[in-house]
Structure 1
Amino acid sequence: MELTNKNIIITGAGQGLGRTMAVELARKGANIALVDLNKEKLEESLQACEEAGSSARYYLTNVADESAVEAMVQQVANDFGQIDGLINNAGILRDGLLIKSRDGEMTKMSLSQWQSVIDVNLTGVFLCTREVAAQMVEKQNSGVIINISSISRAGNMGQTNYSAAKAGVAAMTVSWAKELARFNIRCAAIAPGFIATDMTAGMKPEALDRMTAGIPLKRMGTCEEIAHSAAYIFENDYYSGRIIELDGGLRL
């Protein structure tokens, strides 16, 4: 796909990886629909995309809300004419052990911890993809859908909810690539490892050192490196149904 004048929705676009991908695609000439729940951060992302030379708009949307997603996708289609791409990037963390026993006291991962992550990180991907794919088919235009999975999809201690969601995202990617190819819609995913973001910047230095020590390249990845992979998927018309593992050689 040639990105010039293509219309791309990016969820979780208010900061970090989402904003970086938005700016990278804007530099390549794409028009960006920015989706998030934080208006202030969306306005900053909007300005960054416009400074990169793109036309952009933002949409305050909870991706776990079916009616909100339906309305957002329809509004994007109305505003931009058609939708050519989607990056399902929105996600949250509610880490914790399944059970924890200390000094005879038992604690458990709560249902709300589980459900909130599944709702955003898995159901949100389903809802956004369903609505965007339907728009593409109705308008009879080809398209590309990129899902952000994670190295944690293999299973990571303290991330029962997150790992389950990201494994589901990887599985849905393959299913959709097979189902949607008949409509000339490609679907692929990126599975980042440990990436330098605002969230990791707030970690204690000793924790960051332990984290990076296990990475063969001895550093965390950058948002720009993830954005480069997203652009590659859009631009390579034969890439579909596969997951780019971008983790510096680390395997959990």
Structure 2
Amino acid sequence: MPGRLLLWSWQWAPRRVSPIHRSPAFSVRPRTGLDTLPSSRRFLSSAHTPPENAAVAFQSADRLSGRTCMITGGTSGIGFAIAERFLQEGASSVILVGRSQKRLQDAAGRLGVLTGALPNSDNNNFGQVAARAPEDDTQNLNKIRLLLGDVSDAGSWMRELEKEMSSVDVLVNAAGVSISNILPRSDPEHISQILRTNLEGAMLTSRALMRASIRSRARNRTDAAGEGKPSSKCIINVSSLLALKGGTGAVPYAASKAGLLGMTRSLAVEAAASLKDIVIRSNAIVPGYIETPMIADFTPGETGRLKDLIPLHRFGDPREVADAAVFLAQNEYANNCVLNLDGGLSAV
């Protein structure tokens, strides 16, 4: 969508949501299975249950109260789980970024069901929702906003993106694609698409946040604790264990995810050196095998073999990754913090 950005608020109307959401044809999971699948391929359904023996007990503590959070690739999988958790933690607004209007709408509907963040309504239209809502419902409006745009082409709508970033406190770069093939057989266009979406897209959204922060430095809020210190802003990059551990059929993908870790480190230093009174923290999450419907592609024997390799003998749950994102978003001393969430596989 070159040169164009659409932003609207979502008002949920009761409807049946399919538990399976298919991805674009070009987004194919690498057969290595490492990392979370590309965000365009991930899904967390309302009926999702934690893996066996998983200790997933999430309780809201309103740790993100008053924060506005933008999540690229937030329509499914880890991105979606992070959006759900941020809303449960009191985020005032969550902006989902994606290139498919239908997927964005579907994700917003599911979030409304799972979090109760939006009021029920018989009206399923977009825009001007506040004017129609009862006064006592206005506090719930605009909690979920949808931003239609392709991060791989973010340079073409950078001005609009910077404008929307002016109110963002937490940016989660979870968008990603992967096309499984050995490098000699990889199409150059596919290589470019992977790098532009996974790495360049994250770089451009981070740039937009930094530029918007410079413009609005006078509007920095004090933290909720009332200590008079300015709340920092935070960038969270979703990388992959493939950035650190070799695999077959995912060279461009691994390179893009390794680039995210380099970007995380450099941003942590550069932001402190060049932004003066503006505090922007830069952190990363490095997931290993995460439970998604795409795991169903593995044979029982392959699944068993992979779980045997992991010291915890199970795959991760997207909500466990979301829990890490909440920690990174609200901990004011977390900077260049890289969290491995792989069940111990990186130690093997």
User: Which residue does 1:45 correspond to in 2?
Assistant: 107
Q: What is the percentage of aligned positions where both structures have the same residue?
A: 31
Distance between the aligned counterparts of 2:178 and 2:86, measured in 1? Answer: 26
Distance between the aligned counterparts of 2:312 and 2:104, measured in 1? Answer: 33
1:56 aligns with 2:139: no
Larger radius of gyration: 2
Q: 2:75 aligns with which of 8, 11, 14?
A: 14
Distance between the aligned counterparts of 2:279 and 2:191, measured in 1? Answer: 35
Are the equivalent residues in 2 in contact too, given 1:23–1:48 (CA < 8 A)?
no
1:25 aligns with 2:70: no
Sort the Cα spacing of 1:169 and 1:237 in 2 relative to 1 into closer, same or farther, 3 A. Answer: same
Unpaired stretches in structure 2, ≥5 consecutive residues? 1-61, 118-139, 221-231
User: Which residue does 1:103 correspond to in 2?
Assistant: none
How is 1:102-181 mapped onto 2 (pairs within 5 angstroms)? 108-140=185-217, 141=220, 142-154=232-244, 155-181=246-272
Q: 1:237 is paired with a residue of what secondary structure?
A: coil
Distance between the aligned counterparts of 1:143 and 1:118, measured in 2? Answer: 25
Q: 1:216 is paired with a residue of what secondary structure?
A: coil
User: Which residue does 1:97 correspond to in 2?
Assistant: 182
Q: 1:228 is paired with a residue of what secondary structure?
A: helix
Q: Higher mean Cα deviation, 200-209 or 138-147?
A: 200-209
Are the equivalent residues in 1 in contact too, given 2:235–2:282 (CA < 8 A)?
yes
User: Which residue does 1:66 correspond to in 2?
Assistant: 154
What is the Cα deviation at residue 7 of structure 1?
0.6
Relative contact order higher in (CA < 8 Å, ≥ 6 apart) = 2
Q: TM-score, normalised by structure 1?
A: 0.89
Distance between the aligned counterparts of 2:338 and 2:296, measured in 1? Answer: 26
Q: TM-score, normalised by structure 2?
A: 0.65
What is the Cα deviation at residue 201 of structure 1?
3.4
Distance between the aligned counterparts of 1:113 and 1:165, measured in 2? Answer: 13
Q: 2:105 is paired with a residue of what secondary structure?
A: helix
Letter in 1 for 2:111: C
Q: Compare the two structures and name the one with the higher strand fraction.
A: 1
Q: 1:195 is paired with a residue of what secondary structure?
A: coil
Distance between the aligned counterparts of 1:39 and 1:213, measured in 2? Answer: 40
What is the Cα deviation at residue 156 of structure 1?
2.1
What is the Cα deviation at residue 59 of structure 1?
1.1
What is the Cα deviation at residue 48 of structure 1?
3.6
1:36 aligns with 2:127: no
Q: Compare the two structures and name the one with the higher helix fraction.
A: 1
What is the Cα deviation at residue 85 of structure 1?
1.1
User: Which residue does 1:209 correspond to in 2?
Assistant: 304
Distance between the aligned counterparts of 2:306 and 2:156, measured in 1? Answer: 37
1:83 aligns with 2:168: yes
Unpaired stretches in structure 1, ≥5 consecutive residues? 100-107
1:189 aligns with 2:284: yes
Sort the Cα spacing of 1:150 and 1:75 in 2 relative to 1 into closer, same or farther, 3 A. Answer: same
What is the Cα deviation at residue 67 of structure 1?
3.6
Q: Higher mean Cα deviation, 238-247 or 67-76?
A: 67-76
Distance between the aligned counterparts of 2:333 and 2:179, measured in 1? Answer: 36
Q: Higher mean Cα deviation, 64-73 or 208-217?
A: 64-73
